[in-house]
Amino acid sequence: MEICEDIRHTNGMKAIYNRRKETIERIFGTAKEAHGFRYTQMYGNAA
């Protein structure tokens, strides 16, 4: 896990993570607002 953190903080990866805010997080925000994914219910064997 520490290796992943070290890689994430290199200059090349910082640019990729900054782009992530603009692409991936927008998708999650849209799903939460438009499709009602703010809350989940537990279904299945565990519930």
Q: Which residues contact 42 (CB under 8 A, 6 or more apart)?
A: none
User: Which of the pair, 46 or 11, is modelled with greater confidence?
Assistant: 11
Q: How far apart are CA 10 and CA 38, in angstroms?
A: 33
Q: Residue 42 pLDDT > 80, yes or no?
A: no
pLDDT of residue 46: 61
Q: Which residues contact 21 (CB under 8 A, 6 or more apart)?
A: none
What backbone phi and psi angles, to 5 degrees, belong to 12?
A: -65, -40
**Cα angle 8-30-27, degrees, rounded to a multiple of 5:** 30
Amino acid (1-letter code) at residue 12: G
Threshold 0.75, pTM exceeds: no
pLDDT of residue 31: 84
pLDDT per residue as tens digits for the range 4-38: 888 878 888 888 888 887 788 888 888 888 887 77
pLDDT of residue 47: 52
